[in-house]
Amino acid sequence: MATPLQPEILIAHPWMARGGSEATAMWALHALQDRSRVTFATASPVDWEDLNATYGTRVDPAKVALLSAPRLPGVNSGTVVAFWQRAWFERFCRTQGAKFDACISAYNPIRFGQRAIQLIGDFSFDEKCRLALYPTATGQVHHRPSIVRQAYLSIGEHLAGRHDEPAFAPDDLVVANSLWTAARLREHFPLDRVPVLYPPSSPLGVENSTREPLGFVAMNRITPEKEIETLLTILDRVRAAGRPVTLDLLGKIGDDCYSRRIRRLVRERQEWVRTPGFLGPREKTALFAARSFGIHACRVEAFGIAVAEMAAAGLIPFVPAEGGSREIAGDESLIYRDPDDAAAKILAVLDQPESHASLRRSLRENAARFAPEHFSMRMVEIVQDFLGLPI
């Protein structure tokens, strides 16, 4: 073990792709690399230069030991048999946990064989929660309760070596990524103390610029829980009311069943919906500077880094009343109950252009709470509290 002033810390993420949990992993490494001996475990390839550029971090490979976890045979993506691959990753982490003073899961609970800090990003890790909380939980055939689904989950539990253990060890420190997530965790698990650590949202440095007055942006993974079809429906109604809004739908549209459905819906609206795919920081900054509004439809968004980035960049985002995104939007004029309410609120804001400057100002002030610097300081505080010593 390391000396008390230089604890050995393991940070684990099953697969580094593009999203909120990956930003959390990178900024946790950034925050702790000069205060401890950090090891990063993941099953995905790691390109530090690309990850630093994507998330605005300065993780130094010389200060972070990389621990490559095994993959299941034939798996080269975090979305292929995801539950099994994550389980296999957890099994590996169990063999490593005892070597460290503190273990941190950057994305949902991992049993390390010792008490750990569990950073919760969503509720996909628990089948009962998934079915109870996700409106689209059974939208895809392979996600519906069935003998096949149960067998898939049971094999995953076996791969992880859980043996009917609960998701959290009794002495784990479970950390939520929003007040909404903390409330759901207390509802569904025997947890009394659930501190909140908002994910890091890097400001894009957008200055005042000429914006398309009816230009909207949505930025999501193209998956059922993001409810892409709902935001298209909302903007259909705004256009039907005589406002020719446009939409830039950011995110990679794959070849799965849901993506094919969204591609078809987009094709039907090709005169006003653009699909630039995944954008790097420079391209995203330019796009956010040229549009006026954002829109989000996911009702189980535990936080919503995409929404926080929009708010910080001067976009005015409309978000559902359910989920953590409302903590970013703040103003009730931007928070909707259903598609009809969303269309009505969008039309009301469009009718009051004099309110846009104050909305942007309040959104930016609120989004400042989610800056990476705040995340880094809070991350250090959480680790110090967990270890019972300064680092």
The DSSP H or E segment spanning 258 is helix 257-268
| Residue among 88, 78, 129 nearest 300 (CA) | 129
> In which domain, by residue range, is 55 found?
8-200+371-387
Indicate if the alpha-carbon torsion angle 93, 97, 101, 103 is positive or negative: positive
Task: For residues 105 and 158, state if they share a domain.
Answer: yes
- Looking at the predicted structure, is the pLDDT value of residue 296 above 60? yes
Task: For residues 43 and 165, state if they share a domain.
Answer: yes
- Looking at the predicted structure, is the pLDDT value of residue 282 above 50? yes
Per-residue pLDDT band at 144 (split at 50, 70, 90): confident
In a domain, 207, yes or no: no
Task: For residues 97 and 157, state if they share a domain.
Answer: yes
Cα–Cα distance for residue pair 86/305, rounded to 1 Å: 23
Per-residue pLDDT band at 217 (split at 50, 70, 90): very high
Task: For residues 378 and 320, state if they share a domain.
Answer: no
In a domain, 1, yes or no: no
| Residue among 324, 303, 308 nearest 370 (CA) | 308
Task: For residues 263 and 380, state if they share a domain.
Answer: no
Task: For residues 59 and 181, state if they share a domain.
Answer: yes
Task: For residues 381 and 339, state if they share a domain.
Answer: no
In a domain, 3, yes or no: no
Angle of the 20-32 helix axis to the 48-55 helix axis, nearest 10: 100
- Looking at the predicted structure, is the pLDDT value of residue 3 above 50? no
Q: What are the pLDDT digits (tens) for 25-36?
A: 999 999 999 999
In a domain, 205, yes or no: no
Q: What are the pLDDT digits (tens) for 81-94?
A: 999 999 999 999 99
Task: For residues 286 and 180, state if they share a domain.
Answer: no
Task: For residues 170 and 255, state if they share a domain.
Answer: no
Amino acid 232: pLDDT = 98
Task: For residues 194 and 234, state if they share a domain.
Answer: no
Task: For residues 250 and 222, state if they share a domain.
Answer: yes
Count each helix (H run) and each strand (E run) in the chain, helices first.
14, 12
In a domain, 206, yes or no: no
pTM (2 d.p.): 0.91
Q: How many domains does the chain have?
A: 2
In a domain, 59, yes or no: yes
Quick count: other Cβ atoms within 10 Å of Cβ 365? 11
Cα–Cα distance for residue pair 126/130, rounded to 1 Å: 6
Amino acid 5: pLDDT = 63
Q: Which residue has the tokens 């004029």?
A: 333
202 half-sphere exposure, CB direction, 13 A CA radius: 20
Amino acid 163: pLDDT = 75
Task: For residues 196 and 221, state if they share a domain.
Answer: no
Cα–Cα distance for residue pair 386/32, rounded to 1 Å: 14
Spatial contact of 367 and 308, defined as CB atoms under 8 Å apart: yes
In a domain, 90, yes or no: yes
In a domain, 37, yes or no: yes
Q: What is the CATH number of the domain that holds 309?
A: 3.40.50.2000
Amino acid 208: pLDDT = 60
